[in-house]
Amino acid sequence: MFSSFWSGATADPHATNFHPVSSRPDSDLFGELEPKDTEWQATTSGFITETQIWYTTLEDGTSVMVQVIHSSVGVWYPTIQLTCKIVNPNTKEKIWRSVNVTNFVSPPPGLDKRSSKCDQFTIKHATHEDSDYPESYAINANFSDDLQVSLEIKRPASAPGFKVGKGPKGGYSYFGPDPENAEGYVIHRFWPRYVGTGHIIHKGQASPIQGPGMFVHAIQGMRPNLVASRWNFANFQSNESGGFSAIQMDFTTTDAYGRKGAGSGFVTVSVGSLVIDGKLALVTAETKWPDEALPERADVMSRAVHLKPVHDPDTGYDAPTEIVYRWAGPSIGGGGPVDATLQVPLGDPSNYDGLIEKVDVLAEIPYVLKTVVNYVAGTKPYIYQWLKDVKLVVKGPDSLLPGLSEGLTVEGKLYSEATFIS
């Protein structure tokens, strides 16, 4: 996720050079996905990284992540990676694989560009008209001699895929003074909840996959030191009360991109959603400008707030000891406002509760991309990853779920990330 176009100069150094997707009108927040929104662009020139990720939470709390990353780095031939991370919080077992794939093709014969294949995997997208599950992915991946994953992903009709903003430009944040001729961009499109089934074969032993999850298709068209200085990600899933999910993705720009050009950056863009009783109930988006304090309450809120940070000598960053995630806004289809909070105590960075690991990104990404990141950016990105049992506190109209107006506490599993880049 670290890549870019080369940046051009702007005539007015104080012109707005960042146009966040989160600044759309409230009435334009929910843009239902169209087929082209999740097609592979698989761009082969420029500095662009494109990824599709499926996060599945199993019934025993195990987290299964499968990811395809297509990275174009300037004049070099694209690098395509297949990665998988499986974390069992009960046994503490952690499995990680990253494979550079060969002969990547999208679309495969007879399918559209929502599908892809290579020597190491096949991913087939399918539509099912007049079904309770109108879309699906069939994923079959061979990560190594001792790890294979077969996964069927089905999206319920009650939880449509979304982007922030309607139309073909929904989901885009633009960098540069002119969005029509942008210097770069960031795109996110989501399935907020799906049902995952299948199996994992690890060291010859098969184990079942069964549980809810979420899917994201994301593209970054920016040089690594210009995309962002920080990222946050939250994926809460629960089967209680008909099924809940709460997801959030946010990033903070570098100082180079903001409302008044270079030096006005560190703008935070946050998007998210809530699924209540199995139905997509809320899409949120909020912009935090560095020269304006966010109100304690607002009609629409989408926030990941790091509390009581402590210096972490392992990474060199001030890391949170607690994170609070917030969602609020008008319910989709009317009926009244929805409000939700996840308060996540983490403990001290030296002894985090629920920490999967602190990922040294430069140790994991392909050599060519790593060289570019080091050369043009001088960054040292780290990703903190946690998997925790948490409680989502939700309030909303009874039309969404009887008794919701009195407030509901939902127990579930949270997979979350906090990324520091510079």
Per-residue pLDDT tens over the stretch 194-204: 999 999 999 99
Over the stretch 136-191, which tens digit does the pLDDT of each residue have? 999 999 999 999 999 999 999 999 999 999 999 999 999 999 999 999 999 999 99
Q: What is the second-level CATH architecture of the domain 18-420? A: Beta Barrel (2.40)
Report residue 69 CA to chain centroid gap.
13
**Mean per-residue pLDDT over the chain, rounded:** 92
What average pLDDT does the segment 410-416 reach?
A: 98
Which residues have CB under 8 Å from 319's CB, separation 6+?
309, 310, 311, 312, 349, 384, 418, 420
Q: What is the pLDDT of residue 337?
A: 97
Confidence of residue 2 (pLDDT cuts 50, 70, 90): very low
* 130: its two tokens: 């007049």
Across residues 220-240, what is the average pLDDT? 89
Torsion of CA 7, 251, 270, 182, to 10 degrees: 10
What is the residue extent of each domain of the chain? 18-420
DSSP for 114-175 reads T-EE-SSEEEEEEE-TTSSS-EEEEEEEEEETTEEEEEEEEE-TTS--EEESSSTTTTEEEE
How far is residue 18's CA from residue 24's CA, in Å, rounded to a whole number?
A: 13
Q: Does residue 7 have a pLDDT over 80?
A: no
Q: Please write the tens of the pLDDT for every residue from 354-396.
A: 999 999 887 766 554 545 445 445 678 899 999 999 999 999 9
